[in-house]
Chains A and B, each alone.
Chain A
Amino acid sequence: MQGLERIVLDQPFFAGLGPEFGAAISGCARNLRFAAGDYLFREGEPANEFYLLRQGSVALELHSPGQQPLVVATLREGDILDGSWLVPPYRWTFDARSSELVRVLGVDARCLREKCEADHDLGYELMKRFAGAMGERLRAMRLQVADVYGPRRS
């Protein structure tokens, strides 16, 4: 098994994935490093690559003109950064800024989408995993929006 394929299959997000799928994903993957403060992507940019965080932490930010960006989530080792690469219009919906030295697995989105179209088993497997991760993130966001620590509603 090649080094990158091993790295892919070692990620919690890909736990239990068959070796043939691991090979398909690693064929589109590369290791990347970002210094503290670097932006991995910005809102509105094409989501040409999806990222799986291997080390460090990343702040997902919402920007607003004339104000400091608002951090809405901190992502850590083992997290995926977003699912925007998977569904049209393939554009990022947040800014992602590294809070410290960050190492990620970057996967070429077009390359992987094409493999998913050609092999629906791979596509379905990935879709299940992303749907689960995005569902968890949505539940967390709902709690944040509920403002449970704020003034009590009567």
Chain B
Amino acid sequence: MFTGHDAPEAWNDGQAPSPDSLLPLPVRVGRVRRETADVATLELRPASAFAFAEGQFNMLYMFGLGEVAISISGDPAEEGRIVHTVRAVGAVSSAITRLRRNQVIGVRGPYGSYWPVAESEGSDILIVAGGLGLAPLRPVIYHVLAHRERYGRVVVLYGTRSPADILYGGELEAWRRRLDLDITVTVDHAAADWRGNVGVVPAMIPRVPVDPGHAVAMVCGPEIMIRFTVDALRQRGLAEDRIFVSMERNMKCAIGLCGHCQFGPAFICRDGPVFRYDRIASVFSIREI
């Protein structure tokens, strides 16, 4: 049985968090890459080494505007930079996507639980991402590819709105050329010149080439997509303790104090964002939560 990962002990032992954990550190922006019309990937250059686990997030602070929780989308093996992929949604995230090289942003973190990459060794890996949900799963792909011999079949299913909304296009192309990785990109709609797949991610689950009894699924995307995907995974025969999902709510403090991200008995920021599905199944479909 998979136990999954809890958030680091310091945030789970009932003690008050360190004051430092609320202090954003100024970090200079390095390269900025426009992924789509409203999504940018920023490489931040911290003054000292920055370590994180796959699936964790940082609080990014635009001075004078506010703070948002953003997943870390870079390679966990690279400690000299922090990579975030941000969609312009509100005032803060829009300002972040407009940042330029050498400008400064506040960073505190990393926070939260993480994907079970170590515990999944020996298993088939099924990564299911929807839209911007590919960002917190990209560190898993980096890790699995760096230690490819430790895993069985590795399948990535990525669904997004249209071909113009595909993230990390160059990397996806490079990964697709590998013989040890099965990648399918599907979009909700496309013009006739699109050579890829059109359809939704859950509908593709029945065909994915993994052994349901020996596979671990990691799912991130809009909650509707997660719900339908989990249903499809269960129908495919994956046990609920082999399905991991990354949840999203309005996170403010990131240390389990303010209650903005309460999800039943859990706080997404402290106990998540990555949850083993069987641990949240009882509250997952409660509409009021």
A residues near B (Cβ < 8 Å) are: 57, 59-61, 68-74, 76, 97, 99, 136, 139-140, 143-144, 146-152
Contacts and interface: CB of A to CB of B under 8 A. Distances in A.
Interface of B: 89, 130-132, 159-161, 165, 186, 188-200, 202-203, 207, 221-222, 224-225, 228
Contact of B191 (A71, A73, A143): A71
20 contacts: A61-B192, A69-B191, A69-B192, A70-B189, A70-B190, A71-B190, A71-B191, A73-B199, A143-B228, A144-B188, A144-B199, A144-B200, A146-B224, A147-B188, A148-B131, A148-B221, A149-B159, A149-B160, A149-B221, A152-B89
Contacts of A61: 192
Contacts of B132: 149
Given A73-B198, A144-B199, 12 more contacts: A68-B191, A70-B190, A74-B197, A140-B199, A144-B200, A147-B161, A148-B131, A148-B221, A149-B131, A149-B160, A149-B165, A150-B161
B134 to A, nearest CB: 11
Contact of A140 (B130, B192, B200, B224): B200
Contacts of A71: 189-192, 194, 198
A136 B206 CA distance: 12
A140 B191 contact: no
A69 B193 CA distance: 9
Contact of B192 (A97, A139, A147, A151): A97
A148 B130 contact: yes
Contact of B199 (A68, A74, A97, A146): A74
Contact of A148 (B192, B195, B225): B225
A40 B99 CA distance: 50
Nearest to A12: B206
A72 B198 contact: yes
A140 B228 CA distance: 10
Nearest to A95: B192
Nearest to B165: A149
Given A68-B191, A69-B191, A70-B191, A149 B200 contact: no
Contacts of A59: 192, 198
Nearest to A77: B207
B198 A74 contact: yes
B192 A68 contact: yes
B161 A149 contact: yes
